[in-house]
Chains A and B, each alone.
Chain A
């Protein structure tokens, strides 16, 4: 089945540690996104990528890094510089991200990151 796979479902980070969240899609979508969701809050954009080897910062990129070496994969690293990393992280993709008016966004099932 086509879709977006996020792993792991739950992740724990120790103080000073970097952790990487995986996101893989087999929808052949060009654009991929990372959002952060805090309890009772909407989604806030961390990074997005519209093409391989290119990505842009979102509203809350500080303390995070990404790479886009393959079309199917868009991993997110939460670095030790992110002082409040506890949140639900959602990966999404769309066909092109170029602003087609009928372009839908598809989401993975999320990763809950907690600090030990």
Chain B
């Protein structure tokens, strides 16, 4: 059964720092991997989607990479800002199932 793990569970950084969030999954037979942002008490907002045939996707200061063979993805945030403070979740899509989520990394960026 697919399992998705995110490390670290929480991360605190000063403003301006570049940072990496990690996501690992146990079964490489995925359709895609998605990164989401969740603010406290809110729903999830899709940040990036990497299809199984792709290696990375970029949106502004965000860059996500995918290595299916090793079961890993990273979300790189450049020049972090206090507004980036949120919980970041990764999820994988397999055939015939809904998205399977990790527990998330809670990021705090201090000014």
- Our count of residue pairs bridging A and B at CB distance below 8 angstroms stands at 67
How does the 8 Å CB contact mask read for B69-111 relative to A, with 1 for contact and 0 for none? 0000000000000000000010101011011111110000000
| Residue in contact with A58 in the complex, picked from B9, B96, B98, CB distance below 8 Å | B98
Contacts known (A33-B98, A99-B93, A99-B96); A107 close to B34, Cβ less than 8 A:
no
Q: How far is the CB of A25 from chain B (nearest CB, A)?
A: 12
Taking a contact as CB atoms under 8 Å apart, the answer to whether A109 and B42 are in contact is yes
CB of B36 to closest CB in A, whole Å: 8
Quick check: A42 and B4 within 8 Å, CB to CB?
yes
Number of interface residues of B (CB under 8 A): 28
Cα distance, A109 to B53, chains bound together (Å): 31
Q: Is B46 an interface residue (CB 8 A)?
A: yes
**CA of A97 to CA of B89, assembled, Å:** 20
How many A residues touch the partner, as a band?
A: 20 to 34
Q: How far is the CB of A51 from chain B (nearest CB, A)?
A: 14
Q: Which residues does B use to contact A, with CB under 8 Å?
A: 4, 9, 31-32, 34, 36, 41-46, 49, 51-53, 89, 91, 93, 95-96, 98-104
Apart from A4-B43, A44-B101, A105-B99: 19 A-B pairs, beta carbons within 8 A: A33-B99, A35-B101, A41-B103, A42-B102, A43-B89, A43-B91, A43-B101, A48-B98, A90-B44, A92-B44, A99-B31, A101-B31, A102-B32, A102-B49, A102-B51, A105-B91, A110-B41, A110-B42, A110-B43
